[in-house]
Structure 1
Amino acid sequence: MAGLSASTPTPTEITVHQQSRMLEVAFSDGARFCIPFELLRVYSPSAEVKGHGPGQETLQTGKRDVNITALNSVGHYAIQPQFSDGHESGLYSWDYLYDLGARQDALWLDYEARLQAAGISRDDPMLVKSAGACSSH
C-alpha cells in the first residue's frame, strides 16, 4: 500500500452515523464511502489485529454491533477511532480509509472466506489466545 503523497485524496468530511453504524467519508477527489464500523474494526491497522508480520493476523469476531465511541484526528494524515469493545490502537491513514471504502465488497468476501476456513461465525465471541500450557518436570 502506497504512503501519502500529493496525489492522495484527503477527507473533506467525516461523519459518524451511530444509528446505522457507518462512518461516512467524503474525499477531495469526489469519492464518498459509507464504511460499516464492523469492517473498520475487523480490518483495524493495529498490531493487535494485523500482527507483526504475515500469518500473525488475529481473525476478529463478534464485532457486528461494535460502535465508535470517539474519533480522534492524528495530525493531518489519519484518524484514530475508539471502539465500544475497548479497541483504540488503530491509526487509519487517509489512503487506508480510502482503500477500505473502495474495496469493501472484496474485503467482506475475504473476511467471510477466512471465517469459513476457520470454522467460525462472525458473531462468535473472540477467542482468547493462550500462551501455552505450563508443564512441570
Structure 2
Amino acid sequence: MAGLNQDTPTPTALTVHGASRVLEVQYADGAAFRLPFELLRVYSPSAEVQGHGPGQEVLQTGKRDVTIVAVEPVGNYAIKPIFSDGHESGLYSWQYLYELGSRQSELWQDYLDRLQAAGVDRDQPMPGKAGSACGHQH
C-alpha cells in the first residue's frame, strides 16, 4: 500500500453499521464492500499490527467483538477508525479499503490459517503488552 494509486476509485459513501459491526464502502466505479470491523482491525495498516518490515507482523486475537467508535477523515485519501479496544493508529487509504474489500475472502482465510499455525484461538485475548508495541528490539 506504499503509494496512492491514481486509478483507485474514490468512495462515494462510507457507512458504519454498529449493530452488525461492518463498515460499508461504496465506490464511484460501482464496487461496494461490507468490511467486518474484525477484519479491519486484524489487518490494520499500522506499525503496531504490520510491524516495521516483512516478517514482523503481530497476529491479532480477541477482536471478534471490536467496534468502531469513531471515524476521522484524513485529507481526501483515507480514514482513521478509532476502535473500541483503543487502537487508532491505522490510516486506511481508499486504495487499502478497496484492496481489503476485493480480497476479503482470501485475507480472512489467511488470517484463520495464521491463527491455526500459531496454535491460538481467534477469541483468545492478546498477550499482555509490556510498554509500547513498537518498543521491540530491531
What RMSD, in angstroms, separates the aligned Cα atoms of the two structures? 1.3
Query: How many residues are aligned here?
Result: 131
Q: Which entry has the higher C-alpha Rg, 1 or 2?
A: 1
1:83 alignment counterpart:
83
What TM-score do you get using the length of structure 1 for normalisation?
0.92
2:134 alignment counterpart:
none
1:134 alignment counterpart:
none
- Assess if the C-alpha contact under 8 Å between 2:5 and 2:95 holds in 1: no
Unmatched segments (≥5 aa) in structure 2: 132-138
Instruction: Tell me how far apart the structure 2 counterparts of residues 5 and 106 of structure 1 sit (CA, whole Å).
Output: 21
Q: Which amino acid is the alignment partner of residue 28 of structure 2?
A: S
2:100 alignment counterpart:
100
| Percent of residue pairs bearing the same amino acid type | 70
Secondary structure, aligned partner of 1:19: coil
Secondary structure, aligned partner of 1:100: helix
Per-residue deviation, 1:125 = 0.3
Moved over 3 A (4+): none
Instruction: Tell me how far apart the structure 1 counterparts of residues 55 and 128 of structure 2 sit (CA, whole Å).
Output: 17
The alpha-carbon distance between structure 1 residues 112 and 68, as it changes in their structure 2 partners (threshold 3 A), is: same
Per-residue deviation, 1:127 = 1.2
2:116 alignment counterpart:
116
Unmatched segments (≥5 aa) in structure 1: 132-137
2:48 alignment counterpart:
48
Instruction: Tell me how far apart the structure 1 counterparts of residues 120 and 64 of structure 2 sit (CA, whole Å).
Output: 14
- Assess if the C-alpha contact under 8 Å between 1:77 and 1:94 holds in 2: yes
- Assess if the C-alpha contact under 8 Å between 1:24 and 1:32 holds in 2: yes
Instruction: Tell me how far apart the structure 1 counterparts of residues 39 and 66 of structure 2 sit (CA, whole Å).
Output: 10
Deviations 1:62-102 (CA, angstroms, capped at 9, x unpaired): 00000000000000000000000000000000000000011
1:126 alignment counterpart:
126
Instruction: Tell me how far apart the structure 2 counterparts of residues 6 and 53 of structure 1 sit (CA, whole Å).
Output: 25
Greater Cα shift, 121-130 or 88-97: 121-130
- Assess if the C-alpha contact under 8 Å between 2:68 and 2:81 holds in 1: yes
